[in-house]
Structure 1
Amino acid sequence: MGIWQCPVCAAPLQTTETGLNCVSGHQFDRAKEGYTNLLLANQKRRPDPGDNRDMLSARRDFLQAGHYQPLVDELLAQCAGGGDQGLLLDVGCGEGYYLDYLLHHLPQWRGAGIDISRQALRLAGKRNISNAQLCIASSKRIPVISGLFDSVITVFAPIDAAEIHRVLKEDGKFIRVTPGAEHLHELKAEIYQQVQHHEKAETPAGFSLYQQETVQFPMVFSDPQALENLLAMTPFVYKLDAKVRAALLARKSFTVQAEFCLAVYQKAPLNE
């Protein structure tokens, strides 16, 4: 069974040799990297939305080096708790690291990833993620069939609660990762005169909180390239003074606290 629906008419999309099409004749070609573009022109605020190539490449290298491994382990544990097989959707999948890792360790699961960034999907497509389909799409209008997914994950990505509610099965799980209060505190202290703590995310409309975990661990950077990747993959890259940046990268060691809030939600009536 297919998972995608036409972003124009909402009819189910069928897979062809070259892409996806629907009974109304709307066709969407598959890129050479394996993803399909289901983001309509009127859903864009700018010609090439989403994260840029430099930020995505830095994030790919940082994550691939295992700096967020405790978070990935907890994500895997939550998804694995959903059963031996299922269907997983990564909303805001970026360059595909989390989706790739989860499906590699859950070989009986199938998955899909969406992101608004074309550059992100190009990198994700090059991973050749097994049992996964990728599309450029907006999280505000997810082009998948309703009530299909056993689990939906988002990691630091914007959400539309009503859309996630729509695409989940009635007994499905929504797993959301947001920054904890102290996330990257030491790094922010080097940039801002007054450090603002991250606020706890509220339970999205249409969901009830089932479980919540705080994942905390120190990251010790002795390799300047790893620290530079962390800077480049965050908005800090636009705030950091050149002298401060150079001084940071010149340190023999720099310890930064990572803190994530991993919340697991279940569906509830939308009027709650």
Structure 2
Amino acid sequence: MGIWQCPVCAAPLDIIETGLCCSSGHQFDRAKEGYTNLLLANQKRSADPGDNRDMLSARRDFLQAGYYQPLAEEILAQCAAGGDEGLLLDIGCGEGYYLDYLLQHLPQWRGAGIDISRQALRLAGKRKMARAQLGIASSKRIPLISGLFDRIVTVFAPIDAAEIHRLLKDQGKFILVTPGAEHLHELKAEIYQQAQLHELAETPLGFVLYQQETVQFPMVFANAKDLENLLAMTPFVYKLDAKVREGLLARKSFTVQAEFLISVYQKAPNDE
């Protein structure tokens, strides 16, 4: 059974040799990296929306260095709880680190990933995830068939609660990862005169909180390149004074606390 629906007419999309096609003849070609572009021109706010290549490359290198592996392990535990097999969706999958990690450790599961960034999907496609389908799409209008997914995961990405509610099975789980109150606070203190704590996420409309976990761990940077990648993959890159940046990267060691809030939601009874 296919998982995609046509972004033009909402009919199911069939897999064909060159990509995807619906019964009305709307066709979407598959890129050489394996993803399909399902983002219509009128859904774009710019010619090439989403994270740029430099930010994505920095995040890929940072994540592959293992700094956020404790977070990936906890997301895996939440996905695996209560299900030996199923279908999971990563909304805002970026370069594919978390989706790839989950599918490597959930051999009976299949996956899908969407992101609005073409550059992100190019990197994700290069991971050659055998049980994943990838599509360029907006999180506000996701071209996937309703009610298919056992797990939906979002890590630091914009969400549309109504779309997630539509896509999730009635007994499925929505796993939302947001910054904890003091996430990267030591770094923020170097950049801002008055570093603010992160505001915690509220329960999305149409859902009830099933479980919530805080994941905290220190990250010790003795490698300037890894710290530079962290700076480049966050909004800090736009706020960082050149002298402050130079001073941070010149340090022999810098410890930063990572803190994540993992909120697991289920559909509210009777859609209340």
TM category (shorter chain) comes to over 0.9
Determine the C-alpha separation between the residues in 2 that align with 1:134 and 1:70: 25
**Residue 268 of structure 1: how far off its partner (Å):** 1.3
Give the superposition deviation at 1:122.
0.4
Distance, in Å, in 2 between the alignment partners of 1:178 and 1:269 is 24
Separation in structure 1 between the aligned mates of residue 82 and residue 93 of structure 2, nearest angstrom? 20
Partner letter of residue 3 of structure 1? I
Q: What is residue 265 of structure 2 aligned with on the other side? A: 265
- In 1, Cα distance between equivalents of 2:221 and 2:157: 25
Which amino acid is 2:101 matched to?
Y
Aligned residue identity for 1:77: A
TM-score (norm: length of structure 2): 0.99
- CA deviations over 1:77-130 (Å, ceiling 9, x no partner): 011113111000000000000000000000110000000000000000000012
1:205 equivalent to 2:242? Answer no
Amino acid at match of 2:83: G
Kept after mapping to 2: 8 A contact 1:100/1:130: no
In the TM superposition, what whole-angstrom CA distance separates every residue of 1:154-193 from its partner, at most 9, and x where no partner exists?
A: 0000000000000000000000000000000010011100
In the other structure, the counterpart of 2:245 is 245
Alignment-derived partner of residue 149 in structure 2 = 149
Deviation at 1:11, TM superposition (A): 0.3
Give the distance between the partners of 1:224 and 1:215, measured in 2 at CA. Answer: 25
- 2:48 alignment partner in structure 1: 48
Residues 22-53 of structure 1 show CA distances to partners (whole Å, capped at 9, x for unaligned) of 00000000001100000011111111100000
The one-letter amino acid of 2:53's match is R
What is the CA RMSD across the aligned residues, in angstroms?
A: 0.8
Amino acid of the structure 1 residue aligned with 2:168: L
Cα distance in 2 for residues equivalent to 1:221 and 1:168 = 39
Which residue in the other structure is 1:30 paired with? 30
Moved over 3 A (4+): none
Q: Which residue of 2 aligns with 1:183?
A: 183
**Which residue of structure 2 aligns with residue 228 of structure 1?**
228
TM-score (norm 1): 0.99
Question: Is the aligned partner of 1:194 residue 2:212?
Answer: no
The aligned length equals 272
Partner of 2:18: 18
Q: Distance in 1 between matches of 2:123 and 2:69?
A: 20
Q: Does 1:255 align with 2:260?
A: no
| One-letter amino acid of the structure 1 residue matched with residue 70 of structure 2 | P
Letter in 2 for 1:233: M
1: CA distance, partners of 2:60 / 2:133: 19
Q: Note the alpha carbon deviations across 1:130-171, whole angstroms, 9 max, x for none.
A: 200000000001110000000000000000000000000000
SS in 2 for 1:170: strand
C-alpha distance in structure 1 between counterparts of 2:190 and 2:43, whole Å? 37
Aligned to 2:103: 103
**Partner of 1:32: helix, strand, or coil?**
coil
Identity of aligned residues (%): 83
| CA–CA separation in structure 2 for the residues paired with 1:222 and 1:58 | 17
Residue 112 of structure 2: aligned partner: 112
Quote the offset at 1:270 in angstroms.
7.5
| SS of structure 1 residue aligned to 2:46 | coil
Instruction: Report the Cα distance in structure 1 between the residues aligned to 2:269 and 2:139, rounded to whole angstroms.
Output: 20
2:216 corresponds to: 216
In the alignment, structure 2 segments of 5+ residues that lack a partner are: none
Q: Which residue identity lines up with residue 111 of structure 1 in the other structure?
A: G
The amino acid of 1:118's aligned partner reads: R
Return the alpha-carbon distance in structure 1 between the equivalents of residues 262 and 114 of structure 2: 20
CA–CA distance in structure 1, aligned partners of residues 263 and 82 of structure 2: 15
Structure 1 Cα separation of the partners of residues 116 and 51 of structure 2: 9
